[in-house]
A and B are shown apart, each in its own frame.
Chain A
Amino acid sequence: MADQTSRETLYRTIAREQGEAIARLAAAYEKDAVLRQDLEQDIHMHLWRSLKNFAEQCSLATWTFRVAHNVCARHVDKAVRARPAGAWIDIDDVEPADGRATPEQATGTALTLERLYALIGRLRPIDRQVVLLYLEDVDAAGIAEISGLSPGAVATRIHRIKALLAQGFQSEAVA
């Protein structure tokens, strides 16, 4: 159990080292600027609360990402319940663009942040977490530890993410 002083030290470390990642995470889970700000503050507040129980069960970065993603998952929880079956798309269902794209496609498009956000916003929470951790440069072992997915499941997803990001992606899932 962390006392008040060490809790403040831990929080300052998180804020310094993961503050920007938390801001990007909130942006990936909430489009609305005001709600995003609220979500980001909620993540910080829950991290602060959780630090009472931090006893180095894992690294501080792992702890931070776990709490932050859990707060975000709860944030979208209502959407999970409201969505009809099949509304989420699996990362496996996102098709890379055909390498033989037409000249118009090849010259007129690029992997933009907006498209990345649009893709992330439609993924299941757990796929979303893997994509976001990958983009934050967390390695495969770290992603498996944070998420609880099997190393095989993480490796498959990362392979898929790399292909998508390298080749571009279609926004529509294949039925």
Chain B
Amino acid sequence: MTVSPNSSSPDPKSLWKGQDMTPQILTPDMLESRSRRLDKRIRNRNRFEYLAGGIVIIASLLLGAWLLLGGPVGQPDLMVGGGFIALAIGALVSMLQLRRKTGGTTFPDGAQSSVNSYRAELVRQRDALRSVFGWYIAPFLPGFLLIYGASFLDSSAVLWAVLLPAMVTVAFLVWVVWANRRAAACIDEEIAALDRET
């Protein structure tokens, strides 16, 4: 599409500022109410994250305890039980890291220039996404290794029944890392563009 010169066109600034706009002016009460709703939304999101993490931790701990304390235990039971305990610890570590990396919501501030503020936010997000293996995947690996390792060592287990879920797990973890790194690359490009201009 090409737009060509037209001497009868109004001045772009006048055209822009002349738009028929009805600004929404809020009262202090409305602003406070909206502000409280935002705080509540953030609190609820955090609670939901803790709840989801808590369910995983409790379920893993219960499974691990049931396997370890439920009766005479052989080596596979020890490994699987230990694996579930390790998963619970991994979930706890991951949840705390998630809170540290993505929590602590910051609000727009007029003291910083837009570029600085925008860049800081982009860097925070990029670093969290790029290092997702270290803080989100790695804590779960000991648990997965113990659980799948026990199955591999069990001579009575059918190979494909062990191999298939292990491969699905690995594929899922690889996808999580890939998707996050891809998102980080998009953000990185935006940061590089900003840096060229300041």
Contacts and interface: CB of A to CB of B under 8 A. Distances in A.
Interface of A: 8, 11, 15, 19-20, 22-24, 27, 37, 40-42, 44-46, 48-50, 53-54, 57-58, 62-67, 69-71, 73-74, 77, 80-86, 88, 90, 97-99, 101, 105-106, 109-113, 115-116, 124-126, 129, 134-137, 145-150, 153, 165-172
A41 B23 CA distance: 10
Contact of A168 (B3, B17, B111): B3
A125 B118 CA distance: 9
B17 A44 contact: no
Contacts of B190: 80, 88, 124
Name the prevailing secondary structure of the B interface residues.
helix
B16 interface: yes
B112 A101 contact: no
Contact of A80 (B8, B24, B187, B197): B187
Nearest to A115: B3
Given A148-B113, A168-B2, A44 B26 contact: yes
B155 interface: no
A146 B1 contact: no
B17 A147 contact: no
B198 A148 contact: yes
Interface stretch (B47-55, B62-70, B102-110, B161-169): B102-110
B138 to A, nearest CB: 23
B110 A149 contact: no
Query: Which of under 10, 10 to 19, 20 to 34, or 35 or more describes the interface residues of B?
Result: 35 or more
Given A53-B111, A81-B186, A145-B113, A37 B24 contact: yes
Interface in B67-120: 107-118
Given A20-B23, A70-B117, A136 B17 contact: yes
Contacts of A112: 3
Contacts of A109: 2-4, 6
A79 to B, nearest CB: 10
Interface in B1-51: 1-6, 8-9, 12-13, 15-17, 19, 21-26, 28, 31-32, 34-35, 38
B12 to A, nearest CB: 4
B198 A149 contact: yes
B28 to A, nearest CB: 5
A170 B4 CA distance: 9
Contact of B113 (A41, A66, A171): A66
Contact of A70 (B12, B25, B108): B108
Nearest to B25: A15
A23 B117 contact: no
Nearest to A102: B4
Nearest to A105: B4
B158 interface: no
Contacts of B189: 85-86
Contact of A45 (B1, B9, B38): B38
A37 B187 CA distance: 27
Nearest to B21: A23
B110 A67 contact: yes
Contacts of B58: none
B11 to A, nearest CB: 9
Contact of B2 (A22, A85, A170): A170
Given A11-B31, A62-B110, A67-B109, A41 B19 contact: no
